[in-house]
Amino acid sequence: MVAPVSIGEEIVAVPSPFETFALWGVMCVAIAALIYAVLLARDVLREPKGSGRMLESWMAVKDGANAYLKRQFKSILYIIGLLAVVLYVSAQFAGTSLSISLGRAAAFLMGAFFSALVGYIGMNMAIQGNIRTAISAGKDFRKALRISYRAGTVTGMLTDGLGLFGGTLIFTTYLTHAPEVLLGFGFGGTLLALFMRVGGGIYTKAADMGADLVGKVEKGIPEDDPRNAAVVADLVGDNVGDCAGMAADIFESYEVTMVSAMILGLIIKPFEFKWVIYPLVVRAIGVISTIIGTYMVPLWPEKWVKKNAFKAMDLSYDLSAAITIISSFLLAHFYVGDLRAFLAIAVGVALAMSFNKLADYFTSPYKKPVDEVAKSSRTGAAPLLLGGIALGFESTVWTLIVIAITIVVSVIVFTGAGIVFAMYGVALAGIGMLTLTGNNLAMDSFGPIVDNAGGIAEMSQADPETKQALAALDEAGNTTKAVTKVIAIASAVLAAIALFSSYAETIGAELVGLNIAEPLIFTGLLLGGAIPFLFSSVAIRAVRRGASKIIEVVREEFRRPGVMEGKTRPNYGRVVDIATFTAQRELVTLALMGILTPIVVGLLLGELALGAFLAGAILTGQLLAVFMANTGAAWDNAKKKIEEGHYGGKGSEEHKAAVIGDTVGDPLKDTAGPALNPMIKVINLVSMLFAPTIIVLRSNYPVVAAILALILVAMLALVIMRSKRAPEELVKEEVLVEAKHS
Confidence of residue 9 (pLDDT cuts 50, 70, 90): very low
Tell me the C-alpha distance between 292 and 52, whole Å.
Answer: 37
Tell me the C-alpha distance between 112 and 189, whole Å.
Answer: 5
Q: Are 525 and 451 in contact (CB under 8 A)?
A: no
Helical residues (DSSP H) of 175-230, grouped into ranges? 178-212
The overall average pLDDT reported for the chain is: 83
Tell me the C-alpha distance between 445 and 242, whole Å.
Answer: 7
Mean pLDDT (whole number) for 173-195 = 82
This prediction has a pTM of 0.83
Tell me the C-alpha distance between 204 and 196, whole Å.
Answer: 12
Model confidence at 456: pLDDT above 80? yes
Tell me the C-alpha distance between 407 and 321, whole Å.
Answer: 20
Which residue type, as a one-letter code, is found at position 189? Answer: G
Number of domains in the chain: 1
pLDDT for residue 182: 83
Nearest to 492 by CA among 665, 281, 684, 634: 684
Nearest to 583 by CA among 107, 236, 157, 118: 236
Mean pLDDT (whole number) for 96-120 = 89
pLDDT for residue 37: 93
pLDDT for residue 629: 85
**Per-residue pLDDT reduced to its tens digit, 218-251:** 888 877 778 888 888 888 887 787 777 777 777 7
Helical residues (DSSP H) of 297-338, grouped into ranges? 302-305, 309-331
**Per-residue pLDDT reduced to its tens digit, 585-620:** 777 888 888 889 999 999 999 888 888 898 899 889
Confidence of residue 732 (pLDDT cuts 50, 70, 90): low
- Give the CA angle between residues 624, 625, 629 to the nearest 5°: 115
pLDDT for residue 735: 47
**Per-residue pLDDT reduced to its tens digit, 394-439:** 988 888 888 888 888 888 888 877 777 888 888 888 888 888 888 8
pLDDT for residue 514: 58
pLDDT for residue 509: 52
Nearest to 582 by CA among 209, 284, 98: 209
pLDDT for residue 11: 37
In whole angstroms, how far apart are CA 298 and each of 243, 312, 426, 733?
A: 21, 7, 34, 47
Mean pLDDT (whole number) for 510-537 = 81
| Range in 159-173, 376-390, 674-688, 714-728 the model is least confident about | 714-728
The DSSP output letter for 563 is T
Nearest to 128 by CA among 445, 573, 597: 445
Q: Are 25 and 277 in contact (CB under 8 A)?
A: no
| Range in 60-64, 401-405, 439-443, 502-506 the model is least confident about | 502-506
Bridge-partner residues for 11, per DSSP?
Answer: 6
pLDDT for residue 3: 40
Confidence of residue 505 (pLDDT cuts 50, 70, 90): low
Among 465-479, 535-549, 728-742, the range with the most confident prediction by mean pLDDT is: 535-549
Model confidence at 382: pLDDT above 80? yes
Mean pLDDT (whole number) for 555-561 = 86
Q: Are 486 and 355 in contact (CB under 8 A)?
A: yes
pLDDT for residue 395: 87
Tell me the C-alpha distance between 269 and 386, whole Å.
Answer: 52
> Exposure pattern of 351-383 as b/e (b: 16+ CB <10 Å)?
bbbbbbebbbebbbbeeebbbbbbbbbeeebeb
Q: What does the CA dihedral 324, 481, 405, 264 come to, rounded to 10 degrees?
A: 60
Sign of the Cα torsion 72, 726, 224, 228 reads negative
Model confidence at 726: pLDDT above 70? no
Higher pLDDT, 425 or 729: 425
How many other C-beta atoms are found inside a 10 Å radius of the C-beta of residue 512? 10
**Per-residue pLDDT reduced to its tens digit, 316-330:** 888 998 999 999 999
Model confidence at 94: pLDDT above 80? no
**3-class DSSP assignment, residue 308:** coil
Tell me the C-alpha distance between 224 and 204, whole Å.
Answer: 14
Among 98-102, 245-249, 308-312, the range with the most confident prediction by mean pLDDT is: 98-102
Confidence of residue 6 (pLDDT cuts 50, 70, 90): very low
Residues 6+ apart with CB under 8 A from 528: 601, 612, 613, 614, 615, 616, 617, 618, 620, 683
Tell me the C-alpha distance between 108 and 106, whole Å.
Answer: 5
**Per-residue pLDDT reduced to its tens digit, 329-356:** 999 999 998 899 999 999 888 887 777 6
Residues 6+ apart with CB under 8 A from 418: none
Mean pLDDT (whole number) for 516-541 = 88
Q: Are 239 and 452 in contact (CB under 8 A)?
A: yes
Higher pLDDT, 682 or 735: 682
Mean pLDDT (whole number) for 185-204 = 84
Residue 534, Cα to own-chain centre: how many angstroms?
19
Taking each helix axis as running N to C, give the angle between helix 178-212 and helix 246-267, from 0 to 180 degrees, rounded to the nearest 10.
160
> Exposure pattern of 56-84 as b/e (b: 16+ CB <10 Å)?
ebbebbbebbbebbeebbeebeebbeebb
Mean pLDDT (whole number) for 182-190 = 85
Mean pLDDT (whole number) for 148-159 = 88
Higher pLDDT, 448 or 728: 448
pLDDT for residue 313: 84
Instruction: Phi first, then psi: give them for residue 6, nearest 5 degrees.
Output: -140, 150
Share of the chain above pLDDT 70, in %: 93
Model confidence at 306: pLDDT above 80? no
Name the burial class of residue 119, with classes exposed (0-12), middle (13-18) and buried (19+) by CB atoms within 10 angstroms of its CB. Answer: buried
How many other C-beta atoms are found inside a 10 Å radius of the C-beta of residue 101? 22
| Range in 61-65, 249-253, 450-454 the model is least confident about | 249-253
Q: Is the peptide bond before 270 cis (omega within 30 degrees of 0)?
A: yes
Higher pLDDT, 88 or 565: 88
Higher pLDDT, 302 or 425: 425
Q: Are 428 and 261 in contact (CB under 8 A)?
A: yes
Name the burial class of residue 217, with classes exposed (0-12), middle (13-18) and buried (19+) by CB atoms within 10 angstroms of its CB. Answer: middle
How many other C-beta atoms are found inside a 10 Å radius of the C-beta of residue 544? 15
Which residue type, as a one-letter code, is found at position 468? Answer: Q
- How far from each other are the two terminal CA atoms of the chain, in whole angstroms? 73
Bridge-partner residues for 10, per DSSP?
Answer: 7
Segments forming the whole domain that contains residue 95: 5-741
Model confidence at 8: pLDDT above 50? no
Model confidence at 722: pLDDT above 90? no
Tell me the C-alpha distance between 15 and 464, whole Å.
Answer: 62
